[in-house]
Structure 1
Amino acid sequence: MRETDAITAMPMRTDRIEWEERLLADEGLLRHIADKIKGPFHVIYPDQVVENIRAFQKVFANSEVKGRIYYGKKANKSACVVAACAEAGVGIDVASVDELTTAEAGGIRGPDLMVTGPHKSDELLTRAAKAGALIAVDSLGELARLSELSRRADSNAPARIVMRVLPPNSCSRFGMTAEELDAALPRAEAMLVRLEGFSFHLGGYEAAPRAELARALVERCLDAREAGHPADTISIGGGFSVNYVGAAAWNAFSRSVNAHWFQGGRIPRGESYPYHCPAPGPEMLKNILSHSNLGNILREKHIRLAIEPGRALLDRAGSTVFRVQGRKTRVAHGLPYDILTVDGTSFSLSEQWFDSEYLPDPVLWPERAGAETPTCVGGASCLESDMLSWRRIPLPRAAEVDDLLVYPNTAGYQMDSNESRFHGLPIPPKIVLRDKKDGRQFTWAREKDPHEPEICQHCSSTHPALHPS
């Protein structure tokens, strides 16, 4: 046992897949991009999104259950992900006018949109109904308002809806109680709506509760059919887990975690994401369909199962890259360790939002020989709490200025949820990787953020209107 083991966290390394190996093995590409961007950046490989979608579609096909996949757009707003969904023939789950607009602009048809969220704005409801999107109605009040908006629009086409269910014994602010659902059905009969089924969202990442609630909603679908509605869809939402690290690494970390591993003794207080999952993504869907005979029941009753995965469709589809811009050595419990400062902030690794930490270890690039060095990673802001990695990661060597830290598997939420222009620092751009024809090298392009202001060509500022064109 080495002396520094007392202050060094257990490794949490991910297994790399083929495109990640190629990227890290390329001697010039990452450096070339870093020199061009001059700041942190996100890498997205959209072909992996398509591959992840195909894996879910295969489960539905093998089970002979009619399925509908809606990508949870909040997980990553990248246009290339929307394009991947259009290519793979799946829909998108949106919760704002902006998300609806960008989804349509990316090639998603209106009928392939699912609109969620509580008490949606009049504009969103009107746009969704006009587009033929499937709207998850969250309350009796919203049901009445949607009907009124359709009447004002003088629309002859009924709005397509599912009714969102408050799960039993839940204190969630979303969904309708059993009593409200009972009241909603006869009201819907007199309104300009087409009830296509029911939806729910559950916390956690367990298959059984999702299967059991879906099975219970089969009866509500049959009751709605008797009232003249099609009611052929049950949406079970998202929460499809991702397997970031192997069981051995996760179990060792979980068993041994202690304050000595963390800068300032700060163990994150929030509940950590379960970074190891024995049955992630498509395997979880398979388990849902097999639990409680759900798949057979759905086939027998001709009911489609809709799912709304976000993170799971982005699994292994991206990484986040920071440049090391400083290093200092400090001592904890009589032992030395390094603190790095990178050229971005922790807002781009948004697990901190949950008072937790993004646990998969970054890759120190370029890879070369050296002595293992316990290292924590801080951001470039003036905040003491701006730490990308509080824990002392066992880096394979001491990092140097201008080295790169590549955080793996960050496309699901880490790239978008918490970013801001704090201190005026630019939000890291998204770099889209495509394969060259040889299948070994990449081409890359910087994706334009539609919300970024245009840069003035005269003075490189964000106020082009001040200068003549």
Structure 2
Amino acid sequence: MTPPAVPAALDPLVGAFLADPDRVRDALRHFGSPLHLVFPQVFTANLTALRDVLDAGRFGYRLCYAHKVNRSATFARTAATAGISIDVASARELRSALDSGFTADRIEVTGPKGLALLRTAAEAGVTVNVDNLWELAELAELAPELPVLLRVSGFAGSAPSRFGIDLADIDAALDLLVRSRQRLLGVAFHLDTAATGERVRAAGDCLSIIERAYARGLEPTVLNIGGGLRQVFTTDAAGYDAYDDALRAGLLGRGPAMHWGSSTFGYHVAEGMVHGGPVFHKYANTRSAPSILAELLAEPLPGHGGRALGAVLADNLLDLWLEPGKALVDHAGITVARVEFVKRAGNGATLVHLDLSRDTVTAADQEVLIDPIVLTDAESSPTGVFFAGHLCLERDLVTQRQVRVEALPVPGDPVVFANTAAYHMDLSATRAAMHPDVAKVAVLQRDNEFSLFPEDR
């Protein structure tokens, strides 16, 4: 059976680059395979779209690029040149930010921090988004002059989080700030969801904390809503649904199996039905980050007379801070690898072996639910294949689901994984079997010509 297609959404600039397969082959010959390609001009376009939404409001704002989303020095330098700030979560990310041109007043350190990172932040004089009471107490001793934000968690209706100061402990945090005379910039949260209702409730709780801080003589002026804005992976929502339906039918034995072995992608089968949510749910999103942000700012804030969040911020002279990562690199990176060989497995499946591992393009517990793009001159009928990696591990199937290809590739053909810039390139890339780190190369378009610039490994 040929599976339904789930085509990847591509930025026009990336599509123009891929339109010439020989250009892609030349890149692989010159820089090696596999290869990560990043497109800073797409990053800039994403930034402009978010700024357009924020500029329509009457409040001040700060965008902090979440560096952890990608190690690329090109993205960091692009953000610095654009005049925005940066969110870092380690000493090396802080060093990268400084090397990329950010000054201390444009750097925010987030996430859980040990004593070494707190000392590094204190020495650099950057803003610290405090994760817990211990951090706050240590900063009071190390550098009470540092500006801080309080990251809050424990909101009603939100999933438990290991990050942030629980709402029940906020009074203790505010009391400590008063005693130490630390400068409280504002209150922050970061939810692992893009659900507008959940986020606006969290914003309401944080605004209440700001009021309590003022009652203690503190003067916070910032509401930091973190990141969590979504990406758009596929151009065809109906195709996604059709594939999901075929996958479910295969799991039930009511159609050809789309899965390899015992893979169930987060689903479980019981009483003749498929239950649960898939690990690839993010690929179903069809709403852009700017539209999600605009909806959030227009949402009525509970307890404020029906006024929208954006209006409440403006009326109270509060600045909005955001820490987008995925939204800024959406469609701004691809990963390319060569086909090494094609074989028939004992179960009858066709395996297309690539010179990369699954961990190079997705986290181990997830699944890529957009189709890789095969650049081939071979002619054959559309068919279903599994892409396999180069590690000597059974689990190293790049796709544990059967993927539609319009023509069966041959050794040497490039295969493109779209939209890998957000975490996929760096979060879980493996060095097993002494395979080298994957090179990262920036692609710029000038006068309809493309130039490639390698980054330091």
Q: Same fold (TM over 0.5)?
A: yes
- SS at 1:162 equivalent: strand
Cα distance between partner residues in 2 of 1:177 and 1:391 = 40
Does 2:172 correspond to 1:187?
A: no
**In the TM superposition, what is the alpha-carbon distance from 1:291 to its structure 2 partner?**
1.0
Residue of structure 1 equivalent to 2:117: 124
**In the TM superposition, what is the alpha-carbon distance from 1:216 to its structure 2 partner?**
2.4
Residue of structure 2 equivalent to 1:267: 264
Q: What do residues 16-58 of structure 1 show as CA deviations (whole Å, max 9, x unaligned)?
A: 3221221112243211111123320001011111111111111
Q: Is the 8 A contact 1:22 1:441 kept in 2?
A: no
Cα distance between partner residues in 2 of 1:367 and 1:423 = 32
Could you tell me which of 195, 203, 223 is aligned with 2:192? 203
Q: Is the 8 A contact 2:374 2:409 kept in 1?
A: yes
Residue of structure 2 equivalent to 1:139: 132
The structure-2 alpha-carbon separation of the partners of 1:243 and 1:27, relative to structure 1 and needing over 3 Å to count, comes to closer
Residue of structure 2 equivalent to 1:341: 353
- Ranges in structure 1 where 5+ consecutive residues have no aligned partner: 152-157, 450-469
Task: Tell me which amino acid in the other structure corresponds to 2:122.
Answer: A
Does 2:218 correspond to 1:229?
A: yes
Give the share of equivalent positions with the same residue, in percent.
Answer: 29
Q: What do residues 395-414 of structure 1 show as CA deviations (whole Å, max 9, x unaligned)?
A: 00111000010011111111
Cα distance between partner residues in 2 of 1:13 and 1:262 = 19
Q: How does 1:158-197 map to 2 (within 5 A)?
A: 158-169=145-156, 170-197=159-186
Q: How does 1:353-432 map to 2 (within 5 A)?
A: 355-366=365-376, 369-432=379-442
Cα distance between partner residues in 2 of 1:15 and 1:358 = 13
Q: Is the 8 A contact 2:265 2:367 kept in 1?
A: yes
Report which stretch shifted further, 265-274 or 199-208.
265-274
Residue of structure 2 equivalent to 1:458: none
Q: Is the 8 A contact 1:376 1:389 kept in 2?
A: yes
Cα distance between partner residues in 2 of 1:368 and 1:69 = 46
- SS at 2:65 equivalent: strand
Over the aligned positions, Cα root-mean-square deviation in angstroms equals 1.7
Does 2:339 correspond to 1:324?
A: yes
Report which stretch shifted further, 270-279 or 62-71.
270-279
**In the TM superposition, what is the alpha-carbon distance from 1:345 to its structure 2 partner?**
0.9
Task: Tell me which amino acid in the other structure corresponds to 2:164.
Answer: G
- Ranges in structure 2 where 5+ consecutive residues have no aligned partner: 252-256, 267-277, 301-307
Cα distance between partner residues in 2 of 1:312 and 1:326 = 35
Cα distance between partner residues in 1 of 2:265 and 2:395 = 11
Q: What do residues 411-443 of structure 1 show as CA deviations (whole Å, max 9, x unaligned)?
A: 11110010121101012111111123x2x1211
Cα distance between partner residues in 2 of 1:291 and 1:50 = 27
Cα distance between partner residues in 2 of 1:97 and 1:367 = 47
Q: What do residues 186-242 of structure 1 show as CA deviations (whole Å, max 9, x unaligned)?
A: 221121420011111112221221112112211221222333322111111111111
Could you tell me which of 217, 239, 242 is aligned with 1:249? 239
- SS at 1:63 equivalent: coil
Cα distance between partner residues in 1 of 2:293 and 2:54 = 9
Q: How does 1:70-89 map to 2 (within 5 A)?
A: 70-89=64-83
- SS at 1:413 equivalent: coil
Q: Is the 8 A contact 2:378 2:409 kept in 1?
A: no
Residue of structure 2 equivalent to 1:111: 105
Residue of structure 1 equivalent to 2:141: 148
Q: Is the 8 A contact 1:337 1:373 kept in 2?
A: no
**In the TM superposition, what is the alpha-carbon distance from 1:301 to its structure 2 partner?**
0.6
Cα distance between partner residues in 2 of 1:350 and 1:363 = 16
Cα distance between partner residues in 2 of 1:38 and 1:14 = 24
- SS at 1:340 equivalent: strand
Q: What do residues 158-206 of structure 1 show as CA deviations (whole Å, max 9, x unaligned)?
A: 1111111113244322222233111221221121420011111112221
Residue of structure 1 equivalent to 2:269: none
Cα distance between partner residues in 2 of 1:16 and 1:57 = 21
Could you tell me which of 16, 19, 33 is aligned with 1:22? 16
Q: Is the 8 A contact 2:379 2:408 kept in 1?
A: no
Residue of structure 1 equivalent to 2:323: 308
Residue of structure 2 equivalent to 1:288: 296
**In the TM superposition, what is the alpha-carbon distance from 1:271 to its structure 2 partner?**
2.6
Cα distance between partner residues in 2 of 1:413 and 1:367 = 31
**In the TM superposition, what is the alpha-carbon distance from 1:108 to its structure 2 partner?**
1.3
Cα distance between partner residues in 1 of 2:101 and 2:240 = 39
Cα distance between partner residues in 2 of 1:279 and 1:28 = 33
**In the TM superposition, what is the alpha-carbon distance from 1:75 to its structure 2 partner?**
0.9
Which runs of 4 or more aligned residues in structure 1 lie more than 4 Å from their structure 2 counterparts after TM superposition?
none
User: TM-score, length-normalised on structure 2?
Assistant: 0.90
Cα distance between partner residues in 2 of 1:160 and 1:115 = 11
Task: Tell me which amino acid in the other structure corresponds to 1:402.
Answer: G
Cα distance between partner residues in 2 of 1:367 and 1:114 = 49
User: TM-score, length-normalised on structure 1?
Assistant: 0.88
Q: What do residues 52-111 of structure 1 show as CA deviations (whole Å, max 9, x unaligned)?
A: 111111111012232211111111010001011112221111111111010111011111
Cα distance between partner residues in 2 of 1:18 and 1:207 = 29
